[in-house]
Structure 1
C-alpha cells in the first residue's frame, strides 16, 4: 500500500469532516516518478476541539509515527482545523530551495 494511502487510513481514525493528503514530493530535490517523501495534510476534525495548534500537530504526528521513519515520509506539513475554523482552503506550500529547476 502506498505511503499516501497508509497516511489517509491512519488519519481517518480522527473522523475528519474534511481530509486531503497531497503528495508534494515532485516539488522537492531528488524527486523521481513515484517517489513519496513530502506530504501536505489538511484535516478538519472535532477531535481537535480544545487543543492548541501544537497539540493538534502532535496528535497527527502520533498517528503517522511509523510512516515518519527513514526511507518513508521525510516531511509532513500539517494544517489542522476544528470545523468552525475551516474556511475551505489551506495556505499554499512554499517553494523548496532544492526543487528541480525547469
Structure 2
C-alpha cells in the first residue's frame, strides 16, 4: 500500500471508526488518460485515482453532502495530491 493510501486509511479510521473501510488505488484504470503524465511528473508514484468505500455509524444522521464533506475534510491534505477521488459512503 502506498504512503498516501495508508495515510488516508489511518485518518479515516481515526475520524469515523468505520465498520467497513476500503481505500483502493484505481490509477491503473485511467493510465494514459488526460492528466496522467502530468500527475506522475508532479507526484511520482502517488496514485492518481482513488476509491474510498466507507461505512460508519458516524454518518447516520448526515446528508449525503455532509458525509462527503466530512470525509473530504478528514483527508484534505491527501486529496491535494490526487487527480480524482470516488467516494462510496454509507451509514
Q: 1:89 aligns to what? A: none
Structure 2 counterparts to residues 51-66 of structure 1, below 5 A? 51-66=62-77
- 1:49-94 deviation digits (Å, cap 9, x = unpaired): 111111000000001101122xx21211111101xxxxxxxxxxxx
Q: CA deviation at 1:35?
A: 4.3
Q: 2:6 aligns to what? A: 5
Aligned pair count? 80
Q: Is the 8 A contact 2:5 2:23 kept in 1?
A: yes
Task: State TM-score, norm by structure 1.
Answer: 0.71
Q: Which runs of 5+ in 2 are unaligned?
A: none
Structure 2 counterparts to residues 86-97 of structure 1, below 5 A? none
Task: State TM-score, norm by structure 2.
Answer: 0.79
Q: 2:25 aligns to what? A: 23
Structure 1 residue ranges (4+ consecutive) displaced by more than 4 angstroms after TM superposition: none
Which has the larger share of helix?
2
Of 81, 84, 88, 1:79 maps to: 88
